[in-house]
Amino acid sequence: MARMKKLKEWAIDEFGDAAPSQNTLNNYARRNMISPPPKKVGRKWMVEQDARFIGMISEPTINKSDNPLLKRILSDGR
């Protein structure tokens, strides 16, 4: 049996009929909202079978006096 599975297959096992869309799952994977974090294999996200959805753990505090580059990185990482 494979140790990792596709993100969508994992979501169906984790959430059942209420599984989020593929775009939402990709967002969860990119933002490390799944533990252990998914890995990108080629163009697909793969996740371990026993992984769990944990959501946002904490948001960084962005001050008005922060450097604009730092603000951009903390806001969405791009």
Domains and CATH numbers, the chain: 4-76 (1.10.1660.20)
Model confidence at 69: pLDDT above 80: yes
Distances (CA, A) of 15 to 43, 66, 78: 23, 39, 29
Name the pTM for this structure.
0.69
Could you report the per-residue pLDDT of 15-43, keeping only the tens digit for each? 999 999 999 999 999 988 999 999 999 99
CB neighbours (10 Å) of residue 7? 21
Model confidence at 67: pLDDT above 80: yes
For residue 72, what pLDDT is reported? 86
